Copies of this chain bind each other. A is one copy, B any other.
């Protein structure tokens, strides 16, 4: 390995990698079946190229960033959230090769590609072509941003987010089922943004019958980002919907790396029982409902001790008077 540039600054590296990870989030729910990678090209402390994996997976983040950077990529540093691909594809060039040819002098990579067709070979290629490579910077954050791709590789299934809109006392509706509105406009807009960041949304038969949800993205300019709609049911799916019979069937969903489960209580419980929830999105309104509908049915908990240690707070923010809390499954890859 060639020595790293003596001018490198760890704080600056983290800042640029954080920016690359933020870029990668733009491709979430869009880049499938390719991972949503982010790439930043920096020369002399200035960003000269930015890219993220585009719709359907092409172009790759690196190709897009290099196209922006043009000649300025020569001697620059590339920050990439995933090891540049090495394998040949009829759909586009190999990013490791592209970076080396463009004269990139140093590549900082967050996550080694678990895809066996690359898995270290992209980095090796770069090194063989005179590029200084550092791997592992902010790997945890990059892994979280590309959770669906990682889980496809490691567990053969998409990443699953369970969304709940709750009162302080944990109710999602009045006894008659009315739930408009628990949360306010800011929280609802955020929830629509989350829809756009998933490849598909799933609800159960009860929710479909009672609420007839549209499950689309109702944000100006983002209507085309509405994800596919999936029904968990033993019955027939309506036109425009796909159907699975059991939570485990998500593994077979083609081109779904990020799945959003939106209800109801039995569906949420089925995914939790199966250990198939990686992330909780809790939109909490500062209201009390008292008697009403719970968000989660029977998850088969025999003992409170079993409930502990499974969830860790990953993010939180205020959305108007409401609050969003994001919890990550402790055991999730």
Contact = CB atoms under 8 A, between A and B. Distances in A.
Interface of A: 164, 166-171, 174, 178-182, 269, 272, 280, 282, 285-292, 294-301, 303-304, 307-308, 310-313, 321, 323, 325, 327
Nearest to A171: B170
B299 A287 contact: no
A282 to B, nearest CB: 6
A301 B289 contact: yes
Given A288-B272, A291-B297, A327-B286, A304 B170 contact: no
The binding surface of chain A is classed by DSSP as loop
A112 B24 CA distance: 57
Given A291-B297, A297-B291, A308-B287, A169 B164 contact: yes
Nearest to A300: B290
Contacts of A307: 167, 287-289
Give the copy number. 2
Contacts of A280: 168, 288
Contact of A290 (B179, B286, B296, B303): B296
A308 B288 CA distance: 8
Contacts of A168: 170, 280, 282, 311, 325, 327
A304 B182 contact: yes
Contacts of A323: 313
Task: Please name the 6 residue pairs, one residue from A and one from B, whose CB atoms are nearest each other, closest first.
Answer: A170-B170, A290-B299, A287-B307, A291-B298, A290-B296, A286-B311
A168 B172 CA distance: 12
Nearest to A175: B298
A88 B325 CA distance: 54
